[in-house]
């Protein structure tokens, strides 16, 4: 690890100025569970590290019944998994948080850091000068690509590693971004970018911009949400494939809903065609089987990862059956 200058800003505005001043050679430090690995592996070699810990107002969970849940970017993932209001009103988020990494990492990692973490691709993390690091080739195309994306890829085939982002998008969450003299709030669906949009970044953050809060609308009593994650090891692991769903059920049908996949694309993957089909869908097994066939229809798997398509479809079906009282055909 190379020497760096360490900054402890007293405000988000000061942190923004420091970040913007030396964007290419500075990193933001929250929980540190991702940044420390990037530094040790030489993926990031910053001249400046800007510590966000201790900034006032970013480590709180505020729940306004009937309106919204607001989570500060420095809130620990363990806090989200254990928060009573989140467990009751946003079960999918609590489930995803409880399945993120290990207990030790959940006690250190923050929600802001989790949604902004870098890819876990072994070529990006390894000693390879790949496209995302300024090289000329995505080695996953012809190499070991068992865990890479099956849709939304090209020219780079990473998958976004976050469990929480999949759920946040299914719940219609928004992200507040602050910079010196400005602020904006965007849906999570607009926060992440595909490699074809930006080959070197995974989100829309510009120099000096910092995520401060996540906002989630409180669902009504007819909404149900859940999260399922397939991983190869029972101990902590990243999702091979995951799925989150939020559905409103009434009169034996789905009135509206949203399904988002993880582990299949460079960002949380949502399909408008699939979600449109949820509206008015009867709670019958035959109708769910038809819905299953629509998921990831445009997928273009690499040589070793076609298994992700049926896996994602079956996870989706299992999750919907968990959330809904299925009527026999």
Q: What is the CATH number of the domain that holds 304?
A: 3.30.390.50
Domain annotation covers residue 216:
no
Task: Give pLDDT, residue 329.
Answer: 60
Domain annotation covers residue 71:
no
Domain annotation covers residue 169:
no
Contact of 269 with 261, CB cutoff 8 Å: yes
Domain annotation covers residue 56:
no
- DSSP assignment of 241-271: EEEEEEEEEETTEEEEEEEEEESSSSS-EE-
Q: Which two tokens stand for residue 117?
A: 């973490």
Domain annotation covers residue 244:
yes
- Asked whether the bond before 227 is cis by omega within 30 degrees of 0, the reply is no
Contact of 186 with 177, CB cutoff 8 Å: yes
At residue 272's C-alpha, the angle toward residues 270 and 273, to 5°, is: 120
Q: How many domains does the chain have?
A: 1
Task: Give pLDDT, residue 328.
Answer: 66
pLDDT along the chain (329 residues), means of 10: 91 95 90 92 92 93 92 98 96 97 94 96 95 96 97 98 98 97 96 97 96 96 95 86 96 93 98 95 89 95 98 96 78
150-160 pLDDT, tens digit each: 999 999 999 99
Residues 6+ apart with CB under 8 A from 309: 150, 296, 299, 301
pTM over 0.85: yes
Domain annotation covers residue 108:
no
d(CA 36, CA 172): 31
d(CA 304, CA 141): 10
H-type alpha helices, 131-199: 164-170, 188-191
Task: Give pLDDT, residue 291.
Answer: 92
Task: Give pLDDT, residue 206.
Answer: 95
Domain annotation covers residue 124:
no
Domain annotation covers residue 254:
yes
- Would you give the DSSP letter of residue 327? B
Domain that holds residue 249: 223-323
d(CA 259, CA 233): 25
């Amino acid at each position: 690890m190379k020497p760096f200058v360490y900054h402890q800003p007293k405000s988000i505005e000061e942190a923004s100025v420091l970040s913007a001043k030396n964007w290419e050679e500075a990193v933001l430090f929250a929980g540190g569970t991702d940044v420390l690995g990037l530094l040790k592996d030489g993926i990031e070699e910053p001249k400046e590290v800007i510590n966000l810990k201790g900034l006032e107002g970013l480590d709180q969970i505020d729940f306004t019944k009937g309106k919204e849940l607001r989570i500060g970017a420095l809130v620990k993932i363990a806090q989200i998994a254990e928060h009573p209001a989140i467990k009751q009103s946003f079960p999918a988020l609590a489930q995803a948080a409880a399945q993120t990494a290990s207990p030790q990492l959940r006690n250190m990692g923050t929600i802001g850091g989790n949604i902004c973490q870098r890819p876990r691709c072994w070529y990006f993390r390894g000693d390879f000068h790949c496209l995302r690091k300024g090289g000329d080739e995505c080695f996953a195309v012809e190499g070991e690509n068992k865990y890479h994306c099956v849709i939304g890829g090209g020219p780079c085939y990473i998958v976004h590693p976050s469990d929480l982002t999949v759920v946040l998008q299914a719940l219609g969450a928004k992200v507040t971004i602050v910079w010196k003299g400005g602020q904006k709030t965007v849906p999570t669906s607009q926060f992440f970018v595909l490699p074809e949009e930006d080959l070197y970044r995974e989100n829309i953050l510009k120099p000096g911009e910092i995520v401060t809060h996540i906002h989630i609308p409180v669902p009504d009593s007819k909404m149900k949400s859940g999260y399922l994650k397939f991983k190869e090891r029972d101990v902590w692991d990243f999702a091979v494939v995951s799925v989150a769903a939020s559905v409103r059920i009434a009169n034996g049908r789905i009135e509206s809903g949203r399904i988002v996949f993880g582990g299949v694309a460079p960002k949380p993957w949502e399909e408008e065609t699939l979600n449109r089909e949820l509206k008015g869908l009867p709670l019958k097994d035959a109708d769910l089987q038809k819905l299953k066939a629509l998921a990831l229809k445009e997928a273009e798997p690499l040589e070793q990862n076609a298994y992700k398509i049926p896996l994602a479809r079956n996870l989706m079906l299992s999750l919907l059956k968990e959330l809904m009282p299925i009527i026999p055909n």
